[in-house]
Amino acid sequence: MTKETKELKEPKEKKAIWKKWWFWVIVVIVIIIGASGNGKDSTKTTTNSTNANSTASTPNATEQKKEEPKVPAEYKSALSQATTYAKTMHMSKQAVYDQLVSEYGGKFSAEAAAYGRDNVVADWNANALAQAKTYQNDMHLSPAAVHDQLTSQYGAKFTQAEADYAIAHLND
pLDDT at 55: 47
Q: Give dist(CA 89, CA 95) in Å, integer.
A: 10
In angstroms, what CA-CA distances link 138 with 55, 126, 130?
Answer: 58, 18, 12
pLDDT in tens, 144-165: 999 999 999 999 999 999 999 9
Domain parsing of the chain, residue ranges: 18-52+70-122, 123-172
Residues with Cβ within 8 Å of 131's Cβ and at least 6 positions away in sequence, in order, are: 90, 92, 150, 156, 158, 166
For residue 65, what pLDDT band results from cuts at 50, 70 and 90? Answer: low
pLDDT at 52: 46
For residue 68, what pLDDT band results from cuts at 50, 70 and 90? Answer: low
pLDDT at 35: 63
- Report residue 99 CA to chain centroid gap: 9
What is the pLDDT of the chain when averaged over all its residues?
79
Residue type, 19: K
pLDDT in tens, 30-61: 777 766 655 444 444 444 444 444 444 445 54
User: Rounded to two decimals, what is the model's pTM?
Assistant: 0.61
CATH number of 123-172: 1.10.10.10
CATH number of 18-52+70-122: 1.10.10.10
pLDDT in tens, 81-130: 999 999 999 999 999 999 999 999 899 999 999 999 999 999 999 999 99
pLDDT at 114: 96
Q: Give dist(CA 133, CA 114) in Å, integer.
A: 28
Q: Fold identical between 18-52+70-122 and 123-172? A: yes
In degrees, rounded to 5, the angle at the alpha carbon of residue 144 between the alpha carbons of residues 123 and 128 is 10
Q: Which residue has the higher pLDDT, 172 or 128?
A: 128
What angle do the packed helices 73-88 and 21-36 form, to 10 degrees?
140
